[in-house]
Structure 1
């Protein structure tokens, strides 16, 4: 069986598949008119293969809501699939049809993670965990809020950010997954992979900006329509192509990681890029773009002891900047290298990045973490291995014994 579906604004083929519990191959097999290289277009009519329901036999002591929770199905959806069953009078041996329900976090691991998904996750996590703080630090060119998520009440503030580059959006999903797992570990009181979330919470305060470049992320994931306010310019900057996988910049064609006032003029001359482009154009002046300006302003407001900017790809850790870095920077880089398997690299010939500015401005340890291997956007089937690496680095940054060693 199959059902018709009208593609909505914000849909991608992977997001549709994840919501309906099917795989991409099945979707394209049923819709041979689709090109796997094209974006999903709003208004397009496609056919979705209907996923068969599972059957569950009620066991002794089962409750309707326990079953719904076990199968990640909203109770109302489970009730609709079983209209002849009284939820308050389950009987052992009864058969229940279990409809598919998209589990929490499924889109994060299995489909493109965009600004809408981030906003939904922030609302859900801040509602579930009262100790999570959320702050809007600015807005993108197109007015999307750029949000920071805080957890911890200790005296050592630490910062991390992701998706500075549009096609590196997977870093946003990895960072939000860490926030959720950290919050759950703290709330449950249980150790997580041997890491003490309570100690981290009491000694540090972590502020993460998961998606610095939401407009660019949307462009990479969903493409562009004629109604986009920058349609003509973006198509010109992208040389007429409607494929945006290589796009790193914001929607004004400015590379946000070439926007910071750390030898910006030299980076501009080195790049040789004098007009908007998918990557490597640093703008007309430092911090001309609202996204970069918001991140810089936020960083100025909180005296972070350490900052990590997550990018893709290469499995490398860049820890220095023109000898401005403090002595402990190499110590941290080696610790991160040990827990992640990434290579600590002393980098030269690069300026105007967030890490560069943080080190020069505050003379404190700053890092660019290049996650994963391959071409950006990195494949989602590597999510679990990348997450283990990223979470290991973040846990190390928040580990109490390291904070104590640094301060002695």
Structure 2
């Protein structure tokens, strides 16, 4: 059988829907769930691999221009399914641990970046939010101009929101969890009580792993952060004594009291999508991340 997922392409929401269906038909170990809907009604797809009670979650494309993280996670889904069927140790692991993937948190925004404003009825408003430009390569927000990774209820009130209105990036919204995409992922995390979370972003080859951590919690999380840094080659980032807050990783660390990691793939390319020429290197660096976090569940 040939591969279903082709990550070396402009990976669209429609491709995610199609590949999710094909993968769940081929692999009995994989299940699909819909955890919510975007502003425009696109499904927020989650894929569950394994049957264990201990759970981890990996998500991607909080930010619209960072859609290559979706391709990476879908590549990971298929690779892990194949390993489940062919490697005894992986099958045993995933009888104890379940890996949940949410490959595209922001499908409306991704569609805007990839296919342009003409796909949307509110094109005039979107162009206005985009400072009059019809080029949306740098867009990070959802379709309402809210940055989804500034939406989570941890120090949200203290975010220095100089934007204060819908924009391509950085607007934190009118209140925490005002956007259905962020609220859906938040509810999903509350329901499942994940042991570890990895949130994929781009770019910079960095890992953010702490948010005001100290003491035993700092030491515990640092051990796993060091492992991820070693296998990816990405540097660990110290956000300083007063990080901005509002991110999913920030909220998960402080409220769920479990380790979480924001992993920035690819060399820094600026406010544009990561070029596909970087993909082979990205895959080599990140393909074991889910397995490492799954194994970590067995020892905590």
| TM-score class, shorter | over 0.9
- Alignment pair present for 1:308 and 2:218: no
With normalisation by structure 2, the TM-score equals 0.94
Higher relative contact order (CA 8 A, sep 6+): 2
Take 2:52 and 2:218, find their aligned partners in 1: how far apart are those partners? 22
Distance 1:250 1:231 in 2: 14
1:159 match: secondary structure: strand
1:365 lines up with 2:255 in the alignment: no
Alignment of 1:4-403 (within 5 A): 104-106=4-6, 108-109=7-8, 111-189=9-87, 196-225=89-118, 228-267=120-159, 270-323=160-213, 325=217, 327-348=219-240, 349-373=243-267, 374-375=269-270, 376-399=272-295, 402-403=296-297
Aligned partners of 2:63 and 2:109 also within 8 Å: yes
TM superposition shift of 1:154: 1.9
Larger radius of gyration: 1
Q: Distance in 2 between matches of 1:340 and 1:392?
A: 9
Q: Secondary structure in 2 aligned to 1:327?
A: helix
Give the whole-Å Cα distance in 1 for the aligned partners of 2:41 and 2:73: 22
Q: Deviations over 1:82-111 (max 9, x none)?
A: xxxxxxxxxxxxxxxxxxxxx7433x21x2
Q: Map Cα deviations across residues 10-63 of structure 1 (whole Å, 9 max, x no partner).
A: xxxxxxxxxxxxxxxxxxxxxxxxxxxxxxxxxxxxxxxxxxxxxxxxxxxxxx
Conservation of the 8 A alpha-carbon contact between 1:138 and 1:146: yes
- Residue 326 of structure 1 deviates from its aligned partner by 5.0
CA distance in 2, matches of 1:273, 1:240: 16
Cα-to-partner distance string for 1:222-270 (whole Å, 9 max, x where unaligned): 1011x62321211001111111111000000000000001100111xx2
Structure 1 unaligned residues grouped into runs of 5+ = 1-68, 73-102, 191-195
Contact preservation (8 Å) 1:326, 1:364: no
Alignment coverage as a number of residue pairs: 294
Q: Is the 8 A contact 2:5 2:78 kept in 1?
A: no
Q: Taking structure 1 as reference, are residues 300 and 326 closer, same or farther at Cα in structure 2, changes over 3 Å only?
A: farther
What's the secondary structure of 2:222's corresponding residue?
helix
The match for 1:14 is none
